[in-house]
Structure 1
């Protein structure tokens, strides 16, 4: 009988996977769970921010897509405490909530497209889609071996005008 014992460093680690593509999210979640991680998942930024704010146990790593869907039309009399934002903004908000959080940003956008969106930062570990699960796991282990980012480290240093703003 072939039984796979999880690697002990993984057992104590919790990862939040955020991706609006269900198949990509499933691949990430299944792979990380097979490696012994506790995995939480969210299909968008609003759900991810809610998990980050309310989950009682530590969350050690945020693996998030860059391009998350914009908010849908919603009638509300109060401001949404968990707004829909793009992946880089999720990272900024997450680091404000969880100071020791490690992050990985993933996207299928090319370097030049990300640069056009002003989302290039050398400090945030990046996973280019499509990727193999081996590459993802290698980066996850590298990120866990390094120090967490600060909000300042993850900030996009750009004075260019931001073209898109989402409001809830």
Structure 2
């Protein structure tokens, strides 16, 4: 899926920075010196392999919503497109709650749909302010207190 998305977007003139896992995506967003205009991420990001950590990591593993929140804090002008093949009920079972107004693409999708939706998202405003931790109802903070720090 990642290779197909990358190929189609590059064919359309987009420069793609690819990351295979959420820690790599965070590191790329942190270290890339140029602009990053769009984060395209799956909501459910399972680890490729078992990973144990002795302590906190600068670039921890997380699901797509948490990745989006952290990237938006680093790059406030970024646009975000979330995707998933899973229903909202399945995602809720993993502790992932998707807001209706967040740009979203249901998998499977064809490559032309991907390009069209990416262009629509790029033409729109950056992601909503509550993702940055400003405004909102505080519901996200309450949910965070109930959950462990590990996501995936």
- For the aligned pair, the TM-score class normalised by the smaller chain equals 0.7 to 0.9
Structure 2 unaligned blocks of 5 or more: none
Aligned length: 143
Please tell me whether the aligned partners of residues 107 and 127 of structure 1 are also in contact (alpha carbons under 8 angstroms): yes
Equivalent residue, structure 2, for 1:64: 41
In structure 2, the CA distance between the partners of 1:46 and 1:151, relative to structure 1 (3 Å rule), is: farther
8 Å CA contact 1:45, 1:83 repeated in 2: yes
Higher relative contact order (CA 8 A, sep 6+): 2
Q: Tell me by how many angstroms 1:149 deviates.
A: 1.1
Which of 117, 120, 123 pairs up with 1:145?
123
Asked if residue 53 in structure 1 is aligned to residue 46 in structure 2, the reply is no
SS where residue 103 of structure 1 aligns?
Answer: strand
Whether the 8 Å CA contact 1:106–1:128 is kept in 2: the answer is yes
Q: Which runs of 5+ in 1 are unaligned?
A: 1-23
* TM-superposed deviation, 1:107: 0.6
The 5 Å alignment of 1:74-89 reads 74-76=52-54, 79-89=56-66
Rg comparison, structure with higher value: 1
Question: TM-score, normalization: structure 2?
Answer: 0.82
Structure-1 residue corresponding to 2:150: 166
Residue 27 of structure 1 corresponds to which residue in structure 2? Answer: 4
Matches within 5 A, 1:124-139: 124-139=102-117
Q: Which has the higher helix share?
A: 2
TM-score by length of structure 1 reads 0.74
